[in-house]
Structure 1
Amino acid sequence: MIISRTPFRVSFAGGGSDLPAFYRKHMGAVLSTTINKYMYVAIHPFFDRNKIQLKYSKTELVEALDEIQHPIFREVLKMYGLKGVDINSIADIPAGTGLGSSSAFTVGLLNAVRAYFGKATSGDRLGQLACEVEIGKVGSPIGKQDQYAAACGGLNFITFHGDESVNVEKIIMNPRKKKELEENLLMFFVGGEHSANDLLRSQTEALSDQKKFEAQKTMVELAHQLRASLENNRLDDFGRILHEGWQMKKSLVSGISTGYVDEIYNKGIKAGALGGKLLGAGGAGFILFYCPKERHEQFRAEMGTAGELPFRFDDFGSKIIYVGDKFDD
């Protein structure tokens, strides 16, 4: 048996610039971190070596790879011609809540399958393969940030280039200031699930409008500003940049925010947060606030603690956490 563990991500600035409609014309940049909430994928030889059993939100038992309904399972297993296995996935957080769960699943599945064949795989290579599966083979209208974030792990500045290359750079901070940043971030579940694909299709279409394209360029500049602030161990600008980026993102397409999300966001700002954003493509899921620790008591008194998700940063990306015996072929 092989078990992989792959972290979910929180994107702070630059989201949307990882879409090809943008980075093929102007370099994209995203600043994000992975957190200690994970996707687990376990792979084990199946008793009937002529069949494949898959367990996720449903169970599939098939004899041929082309019979697999789940598109990511189907394409990954076809890539490696893998049959006679039982694969299970389980996650700490539901899908569709803005933490990059779909790409974490793809990365974790690839890592587990490749380890099953005895292959160790770098984070960059896992990110590249996950993009090939999700964008190239499945045809999802998504960007590249989630795959590389989940695969590489940590607090990163990720750039996207017109030649399709991606560069992941670690943000180097004073450990004390990094811990302060972690402690100043509060995450709350605002409910519902969203269709990231629908919102990202709309965002891609919006980028054909020059005004929207310029707004996305400004969001990339905010990612650069945030990187400079963090690498100089200054947290003063963090809330402002989150706020500016969220206001610009909401202006790109309708559906990114809702009246209820705006209400929660405004309440958080009044309660002491310096900035925040809805995570993921938008519409539903988790909202992140940057609130100095000394204001947490007041913040929680006014916001309540229902739906709060405590978390810490993850520094390691997708890992193989268990290797057991394999049946003889």
Structure 2
Amino acid sequence: IRTQTPLRLGLAGGGTDINLYCDKYTGYVLNATISLYIHCTLIEREDGKIIFDSPDTNSYSEYESKEFLGNDGKLDIFKSIYNRIVKDFTKKPLSFSLHTYSDVPSGSGLGGSSTLVVGVIKAFAEWLNLPLGEYEIAKLAYEIEREDLGIVGGAQDQYAATFGGFNFMEFYDNKRVIVNPLRIKNWIASELEARTVLYFTNITREAKDIEEHKKGKLGDEKSLEAMHAIKQDAIKMKEALFKADFDTLAQILGKSWQSKKIISEIVSNDELERIYHLAMQNGAYSGKT
């Protein structure tokens, strides 16, 4: 069984999907998946073994099949997915090989870890014929990553990877999420793609570190105002996208980036600022990391 799950670009509203904010104020996020993927291959075994293989991270682990695999720092994300599949669905051990590969390095800022979880869940769902729709897959992925593993972050990545395409997402309290797929005309999507340059800085970071820092700043009035502004930017950018108003879209993108730096100064550094200003000096209308 093979799955290919898309990574995403966060266009506007990122950060308003974390519980600390959306439980109280409601969050809005606009994102779009791209043609870069997490690839997953799941192969049933009959020898009572479980094999996890991630060649792009040089990670390989082999275990005897049992109902629960304890975390030991080696591919814990795979073990946590397996544990939930057994606990919630099969109620018995499974034997299989799981091979994954990412088109981009870990920590690239494209929602890779959440996309990985979604891709693996989809493979299990296909293999075991599990009764999981898009919302159920995304919710389970969120619970595994945020609750079982304790990784701090929001929920947009799981839903983006599951639904795909352009989406406007609403985040409410009690983990309630509404995904609104956007019917963007083909020529608008093509023009946006033609106007967009995705540049890899060779700087990778753990998203959880940034999210932890954001959480600590949300009690600050200036940071909270910036979060409110980012949420409104998601609404405004959606309207600009429908109208193919790319100049306004670029302005909103740049404005949101400045707001994001108010909430957490660690989202940027001297090298990222140098790259940003170099792009602006050479014809870019806007940008963000």
TM-score by length of 1: 0.81
- When the two chains are superposed, the root-mean-square deviation of aligned CA atoms in Å is 1.4
What amino acid sits opposite 1:66 in the alignment? L
What amino acid sits opposite 1:204 in the alignment? K
* Residue 66 of structure 1, CA deviation: 2.0
State the SS of the aligned residue for 1:201: helix
- Residue identity (%): 29
Name the counterpart of 2:62.
61
List gaps (5 residues or longer) in structure 2.
87-92
Q: Distance in 1 between matches of 2:268 and 2:188?
A: 31
Q: Which moved more, 1:117-126 or 1:142-151?
A: 117-126
Kept after mapping to 2: 8 A contact 1:46/1:53 = no
Kept after mapping to 2: 8 A contact 1:239/1:273 = no
Q: Distance in 2 between matches of 1:173 and 1:66?
A: 44
Cα offsets for 1:233-265 (capped at 9, x unmatched): 322211101100111111212211010100110
Name the counterpart of 2:193.
182
Q: Distance in 2 between matches of 1:120 and 1:179?
A: 35
Kept after mapping to 2: 8 A contact 1:13/1:245 = yes
Say if 2:281 is the partner of 1:270.
yes
* Residue 181 of structure 1, CA deviation: 1.1
Name the counterpart of 2:148.
137
Equivalent positions of 1:316-327 (< 5 A) are: none
* Residue 83 of structure 1, CA deviation: 2.3
Kept after mapping to 1: 8 A contact 2:36/2:103 = yes
Name the counterpart of 1:126.
137
Q: Distance in 1 between matches of 2:185 and 2:208?
A: 37
Q: Distance in 2 between matches of 1:169 and 1:231?
A: 14
Name the counterpart of 1:10.
9
Q: Distance in 1 between matches of 2:44 and 2:206?
A: 34
State the SS of the aligned residue for 2:173: coil
Name the counterpart of 1:80.
85
Cα offsets for 1:238-297 (capped at 9, x unmatched): 11011001111112122110101001101111111111100xxxxxxxxxxxxxxxxxxx
State the SS of the aligned residue for 2:32: strand
State the SS of the aligned residue for 1:192: coil
Kept after mapping to 1: 8 A contact 2:45/2:97 = yes
* Residue 193 of structure 1, CA deviation: 1.3
* Residue 22 of structure 1, CA deviation: 0.6
TM-score by length of 2: 0.92
Cα offsets for 1:169-221 (capped at 9, x unmatched): 12223322221111111111111210211111010111111221111010000
Cα offsets for 1:218-237 (capped at 9, x unmatched): 00001100011112332221
Alignment: residue pair count = 276
1:226 to 237, 254, 258: 237
Kept after mapping to 1: 8 A contact 2:81/2:121 = yes
Q: Which moved more, 1:94-103 or 1:118-127?
A: 118-127
Normalized per residue, which structure has more helix?
2
Q: Which runs of 4+ in 1 moved over 3 A?
A: none
Equivalent positions of 1:19-38 (< 5 A) are: 19-38=18-37
State the SS of the aligned residue for 1:190: coil
Q: Which moved more, 1:249-258 or 1:147-156?
A: 249-258
Q: Which has the higher contact order (CA 8 A, sep 6+)?
A: 1
Q: Distance in 1 between matches of 2:41 and 2:131?
A: 16
Kept after mapping to 2: 8 A contact 1:141/1:197 = yes
State the SS of the aligned residue for 2:28: strand
* Residue 120 of structure 1, CA deviation: 6.0
Q: Distance in 1 between matches of 2:11 and 2:85?
A: 35
List gaps (5 residues or longer) in structure 1.
279-329
* Residue 67 of structure 1, CA deviation: 4.1
